[in-house]
Structure 1
Amino acid sequence: MTNTTPEMDRLSAQISQADSQTRYRYEPQVRRVIERLNAEGEAVPAATKRLHEELLREAIEAQFDNMPV
């Protein structure tokens, strides 16, 4: 059993303090925590799943913001 709660607490704090235009950059770190939990057969908290989905949407949006029109 990995102690991921402190890691997610730290990430959540960093994400909440991050600029709204750059917080999507934390998505890979949150994804790794989720992957680790899944690999260890542990349940992924709903709040962690929601945060990951939110960061994914922001990352996709950021890709389109940088596209020339």
Structure 2
Amino acid sequence: MTDLEERAIHLQSLLEQTPHREQLVLQPRIDRVIAALRSQGLAVPPRLRRLNESLRADAFDEMFDNMPV
């Protein structure tokens, strides 16, 4: 297992133990790790990919929740 794969697994377990608000702060790190995995031709853990997609959607929704109408 590469260092990058170990970081991905660590991030996944960190996300599962972190409150949702703090998970949103970690989302950019997850994007970078996933991009690095893909660029090296390594598999992205499906659970990490799903968590990241969910966090990205939540961050996008939150961005619009704070916009004045």
State the TM-score, normalized to the length of structure 1.
0.76
1:4 alignment partner, SS class:
helix
> How far, CA to CA, are the matches of 2:21 and 2:2 in structure 1?
31
The 1:44/1:57 distance shift into structure 2, 3 A limit, reads same
Write the distance in 2 (CA, Å) between the matches of 1:22 and 1:66.
18
Which position in structure 2 is the counterpart of 1:51? Answer: 51
Matched length: 69
Q: Which has the higher helix share?
A: 2
List gaps (5 residues or longer) in structure 1: none
Question: RMSD of the TM alignment (CA)?
Answer: 2.0
Residues 67 and 18 (structure 1), Cα distance of their counterparts in 2 relative to 1, 3 Å cut: farther
Identify the residue that residue 27 of structure 1 maps to in structure 2.
Answer: 27
What is the rounded CA distance, in whole Å, between the counterparts of 2:28 and 2:36 in structure 1? Answer: 12
Q: Are the counterparts in 2 of residues 26 and 55 from structure 1 also a CA contact under 8 Å?
A: no
